Every structure is written in C-alpha cells, then in structure tokens.
Amino acid sequence: MAEQTVEEIKVALRKEAHALRAALGQEAREDAAKAAADLFFDQVKFSGDDVIAGYWRIRDELDCQPILIRLMDSGQKVVLPVVDGPDLPLDLRVWEADAPLYEAGFGTLAPSDLAPRAEPDIVLMPLLGFDSAGTRLGYGGGYYDRTLASLSKKPLLIGLAFSAQELAHIPREDHDVPLDAVVTELGVRFFETAE
C-alpha cells in the first residue's frame, strides 16, 4: 500500500474535523461561544492600541461575535477579512462603530470596500482542527497562510474552536504557521512556538 501524502492526510482530517464540529447542537455552540469569549477576555493579554482581526462565522464555526461585540463596545480597533480572489491574501478592513457590514462571499459579512485597512497585532482564526503542538487545520484554501506572509510583522495567532475539534496530530508543512494559542469553551491553551 502506498504511503499517504501530507495533502491526502489533511483531506481525511478535514472530513473528520467537519464531522466532529457538525455533531454539536445549536445550544452547545451558543454556550461555547459565550464561554470562549469570557475566557479570551480573562486570559489573553492585549492593549487598547492593538488591532485585532476577527472573522464573521460561516457554517458551524465557533461564533466570534461575542468577542467582536465586546471589543467594539470597548473602542478596540477590529478588522474583518475579505476574500478578494483565490490566490490573494485576505483584505483586512477596519470595522468602525455603527458602520454597516455587507455580504463578502462565503456567507460572511465585512466592512465596505471604502473602509480603512489595518495590520493586526492579534489574529483570531477560525479552524477545522488543531493539535497539541498548535498546528491549525484550515479549509485548504491558503488564505491565512498568504495573509500572514504578506504582513510586515507576525501577529499573535489565536485559534477559536470547540474543544471537540482537537485532533491527535496534524502534519505541519513549511508554509503552516503554528498557533500561539487556542481558545475553546474549556480553556485557553498557549503553545511554545519556534520563531
């Protein structure tokens, strides 16, 4: 039997992770999003000057809105990602207080094309799975990889996930930037990441 390639392993892990996430009920998802938000504010240190990138939940991802709303209410600068093209980095647009959000593809909402742009100090990342080494399993489109490579500095990378999304091992390729931390409904885990 031929040995599986890293991409074949990741395809199988994505199926497994989708199933784990899809098995969660709506009430459990809502409770987890609130618990993760409380844990984020309790255990993640950031300053009022930091720019924080969030995301608008698609499908059955952990909802980032409880965090985003508290950040916005406190006057924190928040950016939301927009997909401009299949081979481009994400366009990180500032979401200003009371500014409307517009459909931005993939079922997401984002600030207007006229919104200012900003580089984040912290990136809250959606994911399909994570492991104990801080390896993130994404959807396979490479959007976050391209975005991180395009930034002038490395932001703090924090995955947001349900605890059920933890996988035993995810193979890491050269372009895969490990997470600095992951926040689930059960706690915040910080990873030792080699620079």
Report yes or no on 151 lying in a domain.
yes
Helix, strand, coil percent content, the chain, rounded in steps of 5: 30, 20, 50
Lowest mean pLDDT among 35-39, 71-75, 109-113, 127-131: 109-113
Q: Are 137 and 100 in contact (CB under 8 A)?
A: no
Report yes or no on 53 lying in a domain.
yes
Q: State how far the Cα of 125 lies from the Cα of 136, in Å rounded to an integer.
A: 9
Q: State how far the Cα of 143 lies from the Cα of 29, in Å rounded to an integer.
A: 25
Residues contacting residue 125 through CB under 8 Å, at least 6 positions apart? 55, 136, 138, 144, 157, 158, 159, 160, 179
* pLDDT of 2 over the 90 cut: no
Range of the domain at 28: 6-190
Q: What is the pTM of this model?
A: 0.93
pLDDT band per the 50, 70, 90 thresholds, residue 1:
low
**pLDDT score recorded for residue 86:** 84
**pLDDT score recorded for residue 7:** 87
* pLDDT of 42 over the 70 cut: yes
DSSP 135: -
Report yes or no on 88 lying in a domain.
yes
**pLDDT score recorded for residue 190:** 97
Mean pLDDT across the chain: 92
Report yes or no on 195 lying in a domain.
no
pLDDT band per the 50, 70, 90 thresholds, residue 17:
very high
**pLDDT score recorded for residue 184:** 97
Report yes or no on 1 lying in a domain.
no
**pLDDT score recorded for residue 85:** 85
* pLDDT of 148 over the 90 cut: yes
The predicted-structure confidence for 159-168, as pLDDT tens digits, reads as follows: 999 999 999 9
What is the domain-level CATH number for residue 62? Answer: 3.40.50.10420
Give the percent of the chain with pLDDT over 70. 97
* pLDDT of 194 over the 70 cut: no
Report yes or no on 74 lying in a domain.
yes
The predicted-structure confidence for 86-111, as pLDDT tens digits, reads as follows: 889 999 999 988 888 898 877 788 89
Report yes or no on 124 lying in a domain.
yes
Amino acid present at 135:
T
* pLDDT of 118 over the 70 cut: yes
**Mean pLDDT value across residues 6-24:** 92
| Number of domains present in the structure of the chain | 1
